[in-house]
Every structure is written in structure tokens, then in C-alpha cells.
Structure 1
Amino acid sequence: MLRISLTGPESTGKTTLSQQLAEHYHTAWAPEYARQYLEERGPEYTLADLEDIARGQLRAEEDAVARAQQLGRQVVFLDTDLLVIKIWSEHAFGHCPEWILRHIAQHHYSLVLLLNVDLPWEPDPLREHPNHRQYFYDLYQRELRSQVANFAEISGTPAQRLEQACFHVNELLQAAESSRPASS
């Protein structure tokens, strides 16, 4: 299963693009669990809450993988990943729980789409940093480079973002197809 994560700062269109990609490729996607969690419990959170959110995100990812497999698809889209939790935790609490760091180091995605901050900020009661999006974008970029992750930066209008994302996904699908052994 090719797991494609969409990551980046707040209000960069991750949810919209995840849904569009899943629809385009007729597959499943995992929504951002943090939104559901904080909508149910309120916008205040602790480090323990971030750990619960991380576990919920991993469950959502596995549920999406199972749905994609049921559909007979080889790709799934994930609206966020634990890198978001790492950066969020380090910013809010000065550190990230070790198990999250281990998970990030051990589990790599087939492709990570890093969404740029060139879309207008959309106010939302759960969003916290309208004036720090470039700062956070730079953190994501640095983290992905240090992980030597297969990532692509996505920017522009929503239509341009979908086009760019599809280009990178198609390249990944073609590479996966060409690396499969020929059936006899």
C-alpha cells in the first residue's frame, strides 16, 4: 500500500487536498484526528492530549488503509501525520514523547506532500498561529530533509495544488508499477 501523507502548517489546505486526491484516485483517505478530538473536548490541550491525538491519528491511518484495500486500491491519502504532532508538541511543550519520535523514525511514507503557506489564512477556533505559518513551514521542510523523506512541496491555487499533487502521485504509481515483477 502506498501511503501518501499531506503535512504542513495550519490552514494550508491539507484536508481539502486529501479529499480531492482520494476522490480523484477512487480510494480512501484518513481525516485529521486532532480536529475531531479538539472539537469534542475543546481547544485547550495537554501533552497527554497530544499523545491521545497521535494514537487516534495512527488508528485513522490504519482504518483508511483497510478501506483502500477493500476498494482494491494501492494508494491511500492521509490528512496529516505524526510529524505534525512532533512539531506541535515541541512548540507547545518544548519536547516530544519518545514513542512518537521512534514511530516517525521507523515508519516512512511512500510520499509526503508538504503544503506551502501561500493560501490565505482561514480563521478557525482550533487554529493557533496565523502569523507563524512560514516559521512552521520551514520547520517541516527541515524535518523532512533531515529524514531524507520522499517529499514534494505543493503550492499555488487549489487547482494548481491538485495538479501538482497528481503529478507526484502519478510518478509514484508508475514507479511502483514498473518495479512489480511481471506475472507469468
Structure 2
Amino acid sequence: MKKIVIIGPESTGKSTLCEQLAAQYKTIWVKEYAREYLLKNGTDYTFENLLDVAKGQLEKEQLAVDYWQPENKSKIDNLKSAIFIDTDMYVMKVWCEFVFEKCHHWILNRIVERKYDLYLLCNTDLPWVKDELREYPDLENRQKLYHHYKDIMVNQNVPWVDISGGYEERLGKAIAAVESI
């Protein structure tokens, strides 16, 4: 099974792209746990809350991975062997460091342990869409965050592709990247 992670700043189309790719490949995708957590607990979060969010994200990812185990084969015969993951521990690292200027060691250790097959880094060229959870409407902060992600991508070993353009162009680039692996 291939694990493909979609990362990037808020409001860059990560969830939309995950949903589109899952539909394209007739598979499942892992939703970003932070949205669920913040909707339930509010947006006044602490450094410790981000550790809870990170653990919740990995629990959701593990549930998806467990779904692909041999005992579920009859349920998934028609599905492709890939899952799309909206957010990973790199996102948690950037979030911690951007807001609190430090990161939990637990998150850093999970980055080292987790293995993925491809990263799709969503660029900031889509218009920012307001919702009750988003914190950075200004392009300057969104671009700063994007460059944090890009620095991480350049300095790790998993293949990655920059995803930019309109929604259709992004999907086309993402499909080409997935097909390449």
C-alpha cells in the first residue's frame, strides 16, 4: 500500500485534493484531525493541545492503514492500494514551531519513525477561504509557512511535488505524481 501525504499551509486545497484523489483512485483518505479537535474544543489552543492533535492525527492514519490489512481483503478488492493523508507530523512540527517556537519531542520522533511514499506540497496560489478555524488570512504568513514546508521537503528523502495552479491543474499534477510512484 502506498501512503501519500498532502501538506501545506491552511486554505491551500489539501482536503479538496485528498478527496479528489481518493475518488480518482477509488480509495480512502485520512481527514485532518485538527479540524475535528478544534471544532470540539475551540480555537484557543495551547502547546500541549497540539500534542493531543498530533496523537489524534496518527490514530486516524493508523485506522486507515489497519483497514488495508489482509483480514479486510474482501472489503477492499475493488480499491487501489493507496491512501491519501491530509496532514502529517511535518504539519504538526511547523504548527508548533510557528506558533510556539518549539516542538514536542514526541512529534519529532514520529517524523523519524513514519514512512511515506510521496508528499504533495500545496502552494499558496489559491485564494484564501475564511472559515472559523483558519488563522492566517494574510498572504505573507501563508507564504512563510509554505517556505517552512518546502525547506522540510528539500531536506528529507521521500519524493515530493509542488502542487500549484487552479483546482483542475492541481489534480492533474497530483495524479501525475501519484502515477510516477
- Residue 50 of structure 1 corresponds to 50
| Structure 2 unaligned spans of 5+ | none
User: What do residues 43-96 of structure 1 show as CA deviations (whole Å, max 9, x unaligned)?
Assistant: 110111101110110011111223355424311000111111100001111110
Q: Equivalent pairs: percent with the same residue?
A: 44
User: What do residues 99-133 of structure 1 show as CA deviations (whole Å, max 9, x unaligned)?
Assistant: 11111122231000000000000011211112211
Contact 1:68 1:75 in 2 (8 A): no
**RMSD (Å) for aligned C-alpha atoms:** 1.2
Structure 1-normalised TM-score?
0.90
- Residue 137 of structure 1 corresponds to 146
- Residue 30 of structure 1 corresponds to 30
Q: Which amino acid aligns with 2:99?
A: A
- Whole-angstrom CA distance in 2 between matches of 1:23 and 1:41: 30
Which residue of the other structure, out of 170, 177, 180, is the alignment partner of 1:171?
180
- Residue 153 of structure 1 corresponds to 162
- Whole-angstrom CA distance in 2 between matches of 1:124 and 1:137: 19
Q: Does 1:128 align with 2:156?
A: no
Which residue of the other structure, out of 109, 116, 119, is the alignment partner of 2:116?
109
Farther off after superposition, 144-153 or 92-101: 144-153
- Whole-angstrom CA distance in 2 between matches of 1:68 and 1:123: 35
User: What do residues 142-164 of structure 1 show as CA deviations (whole Å, max 9, x unaligned)?
Assistant: 01111233110000010011111
How big is the shift at 1:42? Answer: 0.7
Structure 2-normalised TM-score?
0.91
- Residue 89 of structure 2 corresponds to 82
Contact 1:30 1:77 in 2 (8 A): yes
| Structure 1 unaligned spans of 5+ | 173-184
User: What do residues 6-46 of structure 1 show as CA deviations (whole Å, max 9, x unaligned)?
Assistant: 00001000000001100110111000000000000111101
Contact 1:68 1:76 in 2 (8 A): no
Contact 1:28 1:67 in 2 (8 A): no
